[in-house]
């Protein structure tokens, strides 16, 4: 048995998991339907898209940056992907003359959108020194405008069944593809942060950029990698989302970038940079998912739901600031 376990430190590091357990226990008593397999399945599917986006934005926050463009990248990726796998019918002429391509080609096109805008975001932040908030706010507006221009503001419906299987299909034991994809992205994110030089560089840049430069880290190159990874996560989430829904809206996903940032923040990723873990991101996603799911099941007003979510985010940031102030 290990000796001298610091219980206080252990509880502090995993406090959000304790919150998750307490919330789950409360809701299991408040609503008998909460712990049913159907509800748990719906809960996991619902948080998967935001979870994938949160994994990407975590890298930005760890480097003391932010990415507000993820929802715009997601929307543009959805309409580009959907336009390539749309079944053209007599009543559906949004992209008349185009014929469905192989689903993998459409997936590659969607990811290509993420790659391009990741390079743009990273390049702007790394080489022009524009604050990440401003750079990514600008690209968010651009991507949303491009999505509207590309579709002439019309939704893109009637996708092929072959492509829909990507988002609606199930893995072994009936686990939805979306949940499996989220788990894989989470594992990849954790591996990159803990087992690669790139991950160590992310922490170093967020902790002290000047010291990182002195240590020989190419800060600009790593910043580009960070924002490319974040945008690719958003584009991957877009592909899965459009497959699940079966259509794409050029005006959708409003506020999704804030949900992803909130999940990472609640999960203990510090906006001061250099502090955070993927296990924390998972806990943040699950806590917000359980809160949303529980409030819906209890019939709480949507307006009150926003108040509760806002209070949770503010509380998480205050807790984070106090905790790290004590360490300093």
Domain assignment present for 137: yes
C-alpha span between 276 and 287 (Å, rounded): 16
When pLDDT is averaged across residues 99-111 and rounded to a whole number, the result is 92
Asked whether the predicted pLDDT for residue 225 surpasses 60, the reply is: yes
Residue 138: inside a domain: yes
Mean pLDDT, all residues of the chain:
90
The more confidently predicted of residues 93 and 270 is: 270
Count CB atoms within 10 A of the CB of residue 265: 26
Q: How many domains, in total, are found in the chain?
A: 1
Query: What pLDDT is recorded for position 1?
Result: 44
Confirm whether 21 is domain-assigned.
no
- pLDDT over 80 at 158, yes or no: yes
pLDDT in tens, 112-137: 999 999 999 999 999 999 999 999 99
Between these two residues, 118 and 301, which has the higher pLDDT value? 118
User: What is the per-residue DSSP string for 124-175?
Assistant: HHHHS---HHHHHHHHHHHHHHHHHHHHTT--B--B-HHHHHHHH-B-GGG-
pLDDT at 140: 97
Residue 193 pLDDT more than 90? yes
In a domain, 183, yes or no: yes
- Greater confidence (8 vs 168) lies with 168
CA 169 – CA 148 distance, rounded (Å): 29
* Residue 9 confidence (pLDDT): 66
**pLDDT above 70: residue 11:** no
Mean pLDDT of the 251-278 span? 91
Assess if residue 114 is contained within a domain: yes
Domain that holds residue 176: 56-255
Q: Is the pLDDT of residue 85 over 80?
A: yes
When pLDDT is cut at 50, 70 and 90, the band that residue 91 belongs to is low
Q: What is the pTM of this model?
A: 0.93
Asked if the structure places residue 29 within a domain, the reply is no
Q: Is residue 244 part of a domain?
A: yes
> Residue 96 pLDDT > 80, yes or no?
no
> Quick check: 219 pLDDT over 50?
yes
* pLDDT, average across residues 296-309: 88
The SS3 call for residue 288 is helix
pLDDT-derived band of residue 243, with 50, 70 and 90 as boundaries?
very high
Instruction: Answer whether residue 202 is part of any domain.
Output: yes
Contact by Cβ (8 Å): 72, 141: yes
Q: Is pLDDT larger for residue 257 or for residue 327?
A: 257
Mean pLDDT to the nearest integer, 181-202: 97
| 72 — pLDDT class (breaks 50, 70, 90) | very high
Reading the block at residue 219, the tokens are: 């800060």
pLDDT band of 81, cuts 50, 70, 90: very high
pLDDT mean over 9-28: 83
Q: Where are the beta strands (DSSP E) in 55-132?
A: none
Q: What is the mean pLDDT of residues 233-258?
A: 94
CA separation for the pair 146, 75 (Å, rounded): 9
């Amino acid at each position: 048995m290990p000796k001298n376990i610091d219980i206080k430190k252990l509880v502090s590091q995993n406090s959000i998991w304790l919150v998750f357990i307490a919330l789950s226990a409360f809701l299991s008593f408040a609503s008998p339907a909460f712990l049913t397999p159907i509800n748990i399945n719906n809960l996991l599917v619902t948080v998967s898209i935001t979870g994938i986006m949160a994994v990407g934005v975590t890298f930005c926050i760890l480097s003391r940056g932010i990415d507000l463009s993820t929802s715009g990248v997601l929307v543009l990726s959805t309409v580009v992907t959907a336009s390539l796998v749309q079944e053209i019918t007599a009543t559906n002429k949004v992209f008349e003359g185009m014929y469905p391509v192989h689903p993998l080609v459409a997936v590659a096109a969607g990811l290509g959108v993420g790659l391009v805008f990741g390079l743009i975001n990273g390049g702007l932040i790394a080489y022009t020194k524009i604050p990440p908030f401003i750079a990514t706010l600008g690209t968010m507006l651009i991507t949303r405008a491009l999505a509207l221009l590309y579709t002439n503001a019309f939704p893109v419906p009637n996708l092929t069944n072959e492509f829909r299987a990507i988002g609606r299909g199930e893995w072994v034991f009936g686990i939805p593809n979306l949940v499996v994809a989220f788990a894989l992205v989470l594992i990849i994110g954790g591996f990159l942060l803990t087992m690669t030089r790139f991950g160590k560089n992310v922490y170093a840049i967020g902790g002290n950029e000047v010291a990182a430069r002195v240590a020989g880290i190419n800060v600009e190159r790593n910043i580009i990698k960070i924002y490319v990874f974040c945008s690719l996560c958003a584009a991957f989430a877009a592909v899965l989302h459009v497959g699940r829904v079966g259509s794409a809206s050029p005006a959708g996903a409003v506020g999704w970038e804030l949900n992803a940032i909130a999940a990472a923040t609640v999960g203990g990723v510090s906006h001061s940079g250099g502090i955070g873990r993927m296990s924390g991101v998972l806990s943040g996603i699950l806590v917000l998912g359980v809160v949303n799911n529980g409030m819906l099941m209890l019939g709480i007003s949507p307006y009150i739901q926003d108040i509760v979510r806002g209070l949770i985010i503010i509380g998480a940031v205050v807790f984070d600031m106090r905790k790290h102030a004590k360490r300093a």
